[in-house]
Amino acid sequence: MRKKRRAMGADEEENEINLTPMLDVVFIMLIFFIVTASFIKEAGIDVNRPGAITADKQEDAAILIAISENDEIWIDRRMTDPRAVRGMIERLHAENPKGSIVIQADRESTNDALVVVMEAAKQAGVANVAIATEAE
């Protein structure tokens, strides 16, 4: 009788599902998706950009700055005071020194706000500054 009980216990252990290989595959897939994901940077608002025939695609845009139609300056999805733009640019540029700045100015914004942002970028030591346009 004892032999029968032991045999039944061994059968029950063999019939259990081993979840370890499945969990390994799930974790490997999770790591793969995290590593290969591309993170999109946004300035924080939608802007009606002016059109240009000579528009080129800008690579390595580390800092996106948007200027609304009311001359509000948006950096990292937050409205920024014009006096604090230089400090924000310096902080973001320190995180990625090889990156560039892309300014998305609305068609209805004034040149004053654009000049404030461009001067702040120059004072912060950023050499590569571009203005976003729509390709025509």
Residues 61-105: pLDDT tens digits?
678 888 988 889 988 888 889 899 999 889 888 888 887 888 888
Residue 100 lies in a domain: yes
pLDDT at 126 exceeding the cut of 80: yes
56 and 19 in a single domain? The answer is no
Residue 12 lies in a domain: yes
58 and 32 in a single domain? The answer is no
Under 8 Å between Cβ of 36 and 30: no
Domain that holds residue 92: 51-135
Beta strands 61-67 and 73-75: pairing type?
Answer: antiparallel
65 and 126 in a single domain? The answer is yes
Cβ neighbours of 63 (radius 10 Å):
24
The confidence score (pLDDT) of residue 132 equals 79
φ, ψ of residue 19 to 5 degrees: the values are -90, -5
- What pTM did the predictor assign? 0.60
pLDDT range class, residue 30, cuts 50, 70, 90: very high
Residue 73 lies in a domain: yes
The confidence score (pLDDT) of residue 5 equals 53
